[in-house]
């Protein structure tokens, strides 16, 4: 009998201990949201076996896109092709593929995918208002660069009308309207973009505004806008390295022509070259006549308009006198560039004054003199001479042999220029000017 009673008592003791432990350490609460998500996933997989591989492909594509290289964008597109083939009615695959095509600048494909994604979005999530505007911005950019200007104007206008449009959206709307010839509407959009204060696009907005004013035959406003742009971007960065290609062939060259024409001091030489390049690149542009007007005005300019004083020299030089001396020989020097009309040659002239004699050491140094310091002689100025080089402002569009031939032609003419003499001892100056084809 005693043996039989031990087992129930032992079981009772164990259950009592377990109950006490469960009271002391209550079980972890169930995550209802996770439980619902797991059930939903199980249901989706049961009703649509493609949902899980689709999600895996989307995940792989997102990871590839985050790498931001062309090869990874192409890898992402391959994954998204497979995902869209599995579930062609899902929006996310099209949106991601459109974004990848945009990075690769495949504008028609980008436009088509983003249009599908936007059209199939039945309603916008009020918590993702910014995301919806961003989708429209991307779509508008792709539409414009694939030649669908009216569609791009409508898309960007809708994005701007939300009241949350950034300065870039308004700037791109203005750019589209310039391409469409709607100059007054472009000026309104670009002015609103400046008021929005989007610092990332202020430079390009002002350059576009200068182009719109110029083409609307408002030269004073165009010059003011270009000078404002140059104060924001002293090296014209958004024109030299735009984040996206501008609308219209030759637009960068046209705006660089405006930039150098309005520069302080003006560089008519660079403006001449850039407007010539615009006409060569875009012979059928609607703005051809306006560019020809600029060239006619520039050809009446007596060159050089300005001679630049190079840093370093301390000697005084009358730049007006120097400019007059150069102008007499400028026609002969410009003729040297007849075969390289898209280049500019820079001529640097160095002129120095008389040298002070070197201090003589004492005949018999005093061995008891503690200080052995001797004042150093004045620094030697650079040697007088002429340097004739291709300007670094312009990309090379001629052979090195052609440019060297032009430089050799200019050198003897520039060497004979009787520049003002330097009278101060140990002083020198260096000046430079540009030469372009007539």
Write out pLDDT tens, residues 337-363.
Answer: 999 999 999 999 999 988 887 766 666
pLDDT over threshold 90, residue 53: yes
* Total Cβ atoms within 10 A of residue 231: 11
Residue 395 confidence (pLDDT): 85
pLDDT over threshold 70, residue 29: no
Mean pLDDT (the chain, rounded) = 86
Of 29-33, 75-79, 143-147, 175-179, give the lowest mean pLDDT range: 29-33
Q: How many CA atoms lie within 13 A of 296 on its CB side?
A: 6
Residue 30 confidence (pLDDT): 57
Residue 227 confidence (pLDDT): 96
Q: In sequence order, which residues have a C-beta less than 8 Å from that of residue 242 and are 6 or more positions away?
A: 204, 252
Domain map (residue ranges) of the chain: 308-353+381-436
The pTM for the full model equals: 0.82
CATH topology (fold) of 308-353+381-436: 3.30.1150
Q: Report d(CA 253, CA 271) in Å as an integer.
A: 9
Average pLDDT, stretch 267-283? 95
pLDDT over threshold 60, residue 425: yes
Percent of the chain past pLDDT 70, that is, above it, reads: 82
Higher confidence at residue 12 or residue 58? Answer: 58
pLDDT over threshold 50, residue 9: no
Tokens of 81: 């092709």
384-423 pLDDT, tens digit per residue, is 889 999 998 888 888 899 999 999 999 999 999 999 999 8
294-321 pLDDT, tens digit per residue, is 999 999 999 999 899 988 888 889 999 9
Q: Which residues of 243-269 are buried (b: 16+ CB within 10 A; e: fewer)?
A: eeebbbebbbbbbbbbbbbbbeebbbb
Q: In sequence order, which residues have a C-beta less than 8 Å from that of residue 125 and are 6 or more positions away?
A: 131, 132
Residue 162 confidence (pLDDT): 81
Q: Report d(CA 432, CA 388) in Å as an integer.
A: 10
Tokens of 97: 């593929």
């Amino acid at each position: 009998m005693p043996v039989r009673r031990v087992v129930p008592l032992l079981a009772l003791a164990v259950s009592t201990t377990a109950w006490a432990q469960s009271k002391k350490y209550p079980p972890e609460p169930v995550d209802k949201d996770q439980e619902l998500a797991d059930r939903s996933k199980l249901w989706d997989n049961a009703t649509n076996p493609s949902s899980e591989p689709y999600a895996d492909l989307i995940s792989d594509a997102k990871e590839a896109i985050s790498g931001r290289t062309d090869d990874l964008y192409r890898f992402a597109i391959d994954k998204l092709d497979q995902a869209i083939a599995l579930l062609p009615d899902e929006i996310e695959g099209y949106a991601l593929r459109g974004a990848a095509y945009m990075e690769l600048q495949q504008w028609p494909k980008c436009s088509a995918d983003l249009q599908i994604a936007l059209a199939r979005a039945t309603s916008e999530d009020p918590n993702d208002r910014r995301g919806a505007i961003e989708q429209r911005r991307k779509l508008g950019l792709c539409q414009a660069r694939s030649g669908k200007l009216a569609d791009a104007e409508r898309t960007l206008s809708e994005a701007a009308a939300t009241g949350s449009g950034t300065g870039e959206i308004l700037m791109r709307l203005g750019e589209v309207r310039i391409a469409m010839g709607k100059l007054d509407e472009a000026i309104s959009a670009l002015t609103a973009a400046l008021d929005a204060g989007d610092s990332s696009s202020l430079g390009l907005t002002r350059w576009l505004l200068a182009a719109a004013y110029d083409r609307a035959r408002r030269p004073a406003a165009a010059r003011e806008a270009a000078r404002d742009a140059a104060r924001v971007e002293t090296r014209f960065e958004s024109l030299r390295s735009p984040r996206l290609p501008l609308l219209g062939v030759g637009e960068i060259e046209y705006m660089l022509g405006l930039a150098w024409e309005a520069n302080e001091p003006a560089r008519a030489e660079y403006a001449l070259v850039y407007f010539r390049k615009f006409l060569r690149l875009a012979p059928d542009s609607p703005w051809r006549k306006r560019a020809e007007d600029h060239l006619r005005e520039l050809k009446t300019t007596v060159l050089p308009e300005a001679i630049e004083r190079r840093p370093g020299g301390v000697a005084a030089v009358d730049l007006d006198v120097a400019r007059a001396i150069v102008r007499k020989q400028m026609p002969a020097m410009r003729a040297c560039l007849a075969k390289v009309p898209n280049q500019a040659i820079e001529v640097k002239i160095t002129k120095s004054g008389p040298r002070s004699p070197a201090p003589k050491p004492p005949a018999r140094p005093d061995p008891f003199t503690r200080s052995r310091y001797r004042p150093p002689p004045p620094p030697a100025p650079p040697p007088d001479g002429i340097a004739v080089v291709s300007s670094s402002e312009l990309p090379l569009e001629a052979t090195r042999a052609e440019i060297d031939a032009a430089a050799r032609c200019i050198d003897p003419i520039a060497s004979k220029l009787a520049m003002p003499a330097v009278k101060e001892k140990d002083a020198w100056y260096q000046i430079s000017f540009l030469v372009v084809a007539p």
